[in-house]
Copies of this chain bind each other. A is one copy, B any other.
């Protein structure tokens, strides 16, 4: 948006100390976003943007990734034309102990 033409694509990630419980809960309260988090948790490491199984369009998925990133839940970086995603599990655990685990576990159990 504010990026001038032809600049390497970078992504802004908040420090977890700036992230509120409200943001994280809102992020995790959406079913599609929880699918993303679940699949990311199952994958363990990085996972390409296009490799997620969701019922929404690409542009909507981009939106969800943004919400998750701004909530400090995921980390994103480019490699070539592909955007890789990973969970910020450890940092999140330090900030909100038990929260991500509980949600991921519950999501797994329900599915």
Contacts and interface: CB of A to CB of B under 8 A. Distances in A.
A78 interface: no
A21 interface: yes
A97 B102 CA distance: 6
Interface string A70-85: 0000000000000000
Contacts of A102: 96-99, 101-102
**Interface of chain A: mostly helix, strand, loop or mixed:** helix
Contacts of A106: 21, 96-97, 99
A3 B96 CA distance: 43
Interface string A3-41: 000000000000000001110011011010010000000
Interface of A: 20-22, 25-26, 28-29, 31, 34, 96-99, 101-103, 105-107, 110
21 contacts: A20-B110, A21-B34, A21-B103, A21-B106, A21-B107, A22-B29, A25-B25, A25-B34, A25-B103, A26-B29, A29-B29, A96-B102, A96-B106, A97-B102, A98-B98, A98-B102, A98-B105, A99-B99, A99-B102, A99-B103, A101-B102
